Amino acid sequence: MKTTVFSTHKFEEPHLVAANRGKHELNLLEVRLTGITVSLAQGADAVSLFTSDDASAEVLNKLSAFGIKYIALRTAGYNNVNTKKAAELGIKVSRVPAYSPYAIAEHTVALILALNRKLIRSHNRVRDMNFSLNGLTGFDMNGKTAGVIGTGKIGAILIKILHGFGCKILAYDSFEDKMLIEKYGICYTDCKTLCAQSDIVSLHVPLSTETKHLINSDCIDHMKSGVMLINTSRGGLVDTKAVIKGLKTGKIGYFGMDVYEEEEGLFFEDHSDEILQDDVIARLMTFNNVLITSHQAFLTDTALTNIADTTIYNLDCFEKQIDSGNEVASN
Ligand code: NAI
């Protein structure tokens, strides 16, 4: 099947080529899908998209006009796709629901430990021949209360790891997972109580109209003073300006983020020759208790192989459906 692959990154190209084994005609493009670049999909049967591609109603209308019938997401999250519009237009959407929840949970722990033990500051000092320990004091994870918001695939693995550290775990989710309660003694509670009682708050729910700015000024006001906030899920879960306010007052003692509300067009790309225009992220970068990674939590060999394999499998399935004259079910 002719597939235009938008936002192809160097790190995923070999995995996609290996998984494809020459079956589909993949047009690997580095550019993001936007209202302007959408014309590059002309002549293809399908497009494959990544996190920062724009599959809004306007772009979907154009894709549909070009005869695109299928979108193979190379991501688990699908908040960048207007799925209602896609269904209306008869465009089928597939995603990679689980490629390695371990990758994201482990990166979350990397952020927690690096912030807690001030590894970046320490590393920079040592490189500057400054071996002083002043200002580098961390805290024992053992005995601390960790609040995990979203106990699906990623949240569950994070809970397992944090349980290993000896943390007490509070959880918030629309569905209670009995296995997690029995195995790790976690306590489900409401979001406000979790925020009020946790030393570390980590986000693992999808972004939706319900969860947009779940962490806002009101919620931050209820948090413990000096709380650690970690977001490896989606930027929009957090009101970033409210977090900056919390950092300035010391209410938030640490902030680790792998995702950012305004990451489209910023993350995944080299802007080192440009002048940073985003004043919000610029302010965040001034705090020495903020650690930012650019949406790399998923970036492990295992995850990349699984993403590529599932994406090609999804294209295979779609092609088979076309061949047999049937349609695949909408996402
Ligand atoms: P999942 O679907 O297994 O778990 C999500 C959990 O959130 C479910 O238990 C669900 O019941 C709960 N939930 C959904 N809406 C809720 C609401 N309004 N209130 C309370 N609970 C709610 O998803 P998974 O695989 O654990 O991924 C979680 C998120 O992590 C994804 O949606 C995605 O945004 C993000 N992610 C980030 C990556 C990165 O590289 N930084 C990579 C992959 C996923």
- Here the CATH number for the domain that contains residue 120 is 3.40.50.720
What are the strands of the beta sheet with 25-28, ordered from one edge?
Answer: 25-28, 2-5, 46-49, 70-73, 92-94
Say if 152 falls within a structural domain: yes
For residue 52, what pLDDT is reported?
87
Residue type, 285: M
Six-digit token string for 132? 């002083």
Would you say the CB of residue 69 lies under 6 angstroms from ligand 1? no
Same domain (yes/no): 192, 283: yes
Cα 202 to averaged position of ligand 1 atoms, centre (Å):
11
Say if 324 falls within a structural domain: no
Would you say the CB of residue 175 lies under 6 angstroms from ligand 1? yes
Same domain (yes/no): 186, 83: no
Say if 142 falls within a structural domain: yes
Instruction: Name which residue sits closest to atom 8 of ligand 1, judged by CA.
Output: 152
Cα 150 to averaged position of ligand 1 atoms, centre (Å):
6
Among 13, 11, 9, 14, residue whose Cα is nearest residue 32: 9
Calculate ∠ Cα 253-258-262, nearest 5°: 100
Q: Is 13 a catalytic residue?
A: no
Cα 77 to averaged position of ligand 1 atoms, centre (Å):
8
For residue 147, what pLDDT is reported?
98
Same domain (yes/no): 130, 167: yes
Same domain (yes/no): 105, 95: no
* Atom from ligand 1 closest to the CA of residue 79: 34
Same domain (yes/no): 137, 219: yes
Say if 326 falls within a structural domain: no
Say if 272 falls within a structural domain: yes
Spell out the alpha helix ranges (H) of 100-152.
101-116, 119-127
Say if 327 falls within a structural domain: no
Q: Is 274 a catalytic residue?
A: no
Same domain (yes/no): 121, 252: yes
| Backbone angles phi and psi of 204, in degrees to 5 | -145, 30
Instruction: Name which residue sits closest to atom 31 of ligand 1, judged by CA.
Output: 206
Six-digit token string for 262? 């305004």
pTM: 0.91
Would you say the CB of residue 204 lies under 6 angstroms from ligand 1? yes
Would you say the CB of residue 174 lies under 6 angstroms from ligand 1? yes
Spell out the alpha helix ranges (H) of the chain.
13-20, 57-65, 83-89, 101-116, 119-127, 153-165, 178-184, 191-197, 217-221, 240-249, 279-284, 301-323
Would you say the CB of residue 294 lies under 6 angstroms from ligand 1? no
Would you say the CB of residue 263 lies under 6 angstroms from ligand 1? no
Q: CB of 296 within 8 A of CB of 89?
A: no
Same domain (yes/no): 218, 105: yes
Same domain (yes/no): 30, 62: yes
Look at the alpha carbons of 121, 122, 125, 127 in this order and tell me if their dihedral is positive or negative.
Answer: negative
- Burial classification of residue 300, based on how many CB atoms lie within 10 Å of its CB (0-12 exposed, 13-18 middle, 19 or more buried): middle
Residue type, 85: K
Instruction: Name which residue sits closest to atom 25 of ligand 1, judged by CA.
Output: 153
> Parallel, antiparallel, or unpaired: how do β-strands 200-203 and 290-292 relate?
unpaired
Cα 206 to averaged position of ligand 1 atoms, centre (Å):
4
Q: CB of 292 within 8 A of CB of 281?
A: yes
Same domain (yes/no): 237, 135: yes
For residue 1, what pLDDT is reported?
94
Cα 134 to averaged position of ligand 1 atoms, centre (Å):
38
Residue 230: beta bridge partners?
202, 256
* Atom from ligand 1 closest to the CA of residue 233: 35
Among 233, 289, 303, residue whose Cα is nearest residue 261: 233
Same domain (yes/no): 44, 160: no
Residues in the chain, pLDDT under 70: 323-331
Same domain (yes/no): 28, 108: no
* Atom from ligand 1 closest to the CA of residue 175: 11
Same domain (yes/no): 15, 126: no
Would you say the CB of residue 177 lies under 6 angstroms from ligand 1? no
Cα 288 to averaged position of ligand 1 atoms, centre (Å):
28
Say if 172 falls within a structural domain: yes
Among 319, 323, 324, residue whose Cα is nearest residue 23: 319
Q: Is 58 a catalytic residue?
A: no
Say if 25 falls within a structural domain: yes
Domain boundaries, position 305 = 2-99+301-319
For residue 271, what pLDDT is reported?
95
Total count of domains within the chain: 2
Would you say the CB of residue 310 lies under 6 angstroms from ligand 1? no
